[in-house]
Amino acid sequence: MIIKNVDLEIVCGPTSKLPATTLPEVAFAGRSNVGKSSLINALMNRKSYARTSSQPGKTQTINFYNINKEIYFVDLPGYGYAKASKTEVEKWGVMIERYLNTSKMLRCVFLLVDIRHDPGKNDKIMYDWVTSSGFTPVIVATKLDKINRSQINKQIAAIRKGLGADDAVIIPFSATGKQGREEIYEIIDKVLEDTV
């Protein structure tokens, strides 16, 4: 996939009506601070187009990035941020669930988890939401550069077990070294091929 054109086209808040888009969509979900904006920026070849923040929990909207006028990257709100109020957390949950259940153009969900840790309760909830919406999420294990190569297989096995993701594809990814980016592009290219 060669990214020529990126446009943040639609931003939906908790009360916004979700857009009826006509292009295929791939969504990115993950808890706050898992490196979602860094992954999206790495895929878009942009330094800071998707907002990265030192304050986790900043993405409180669903952001639709139009890529090459042929597909949307959909950035879902980060979940599981401890400092957010209960009402805020519920609002994000409702937004994410509503999007997963109503988008007619959603073709693939990338679920990001931190490769350094076993999946948490919120990761498991998110995984179950995605599967109950009819998708098998592609698991992106972020922050690959923060662990030793010798730990990779052990951590991937822990992620698979923690999520109950026996059949899921798991892609270890580093935003700094860009490892894993080509594998993600291949999946996105497949989505585009299947749409034609």
140: phi then psi, degrees, rounded to nearest 5: -105, 115
Task: Look up residue 43 and give its amino acid.
Answer: L
Picking from 158, 145, 5, the residue whose alpha carbon sits closest to that of residue 71 is 5
Element of type H or E holding 184: helix 181-195
Q: How far apart are CA 154 and CA 75, in angstroms?
A: 29
Residue 178 confidence class, pLDDT cut points 50, 70, 90? very high
Asked if residues 123 and 163 have their Cβ atoms less than 8 Å apart, the reply is yes
Best-predicted range by mean pLDDT (10-14, 31-35, 92-96, 167-171): 167-171
Picking from 138, 2, 10, the residue whose alpha carbon sits closest to that of residue 65 is 10
Q: Could you report the per-residue pLDDT of 12-45, keeping only the tens digit for each?
A: 988 888 999 999 999 999 988 899 999 999 999 8
Asked if residues 51 and 124 have their Cβ atoms less than 8 Å apart, the reply is no
Least confident of 88-97, 137-146, 149-158: 88-97
Neighbours of 102 (CB within 10 A): 11
Q: Say if residue 88's pLDDT is above 80.
A: no
Structure tokens at 172: 């270890």
Q: Is 44 exposed, middle or buried (0-12, 13-18, 19+ CB in 10 A)?
A: middle
Q: How far apart are CA 61 and CA 63, in angstroms?
A: 6
Strand partners, 11: 63
pLDDT of residue 79: 78
pTM value?
0.92
> What is the pLDDT averaged over residues 96-103?
91
pLDDT of residue 179: 96
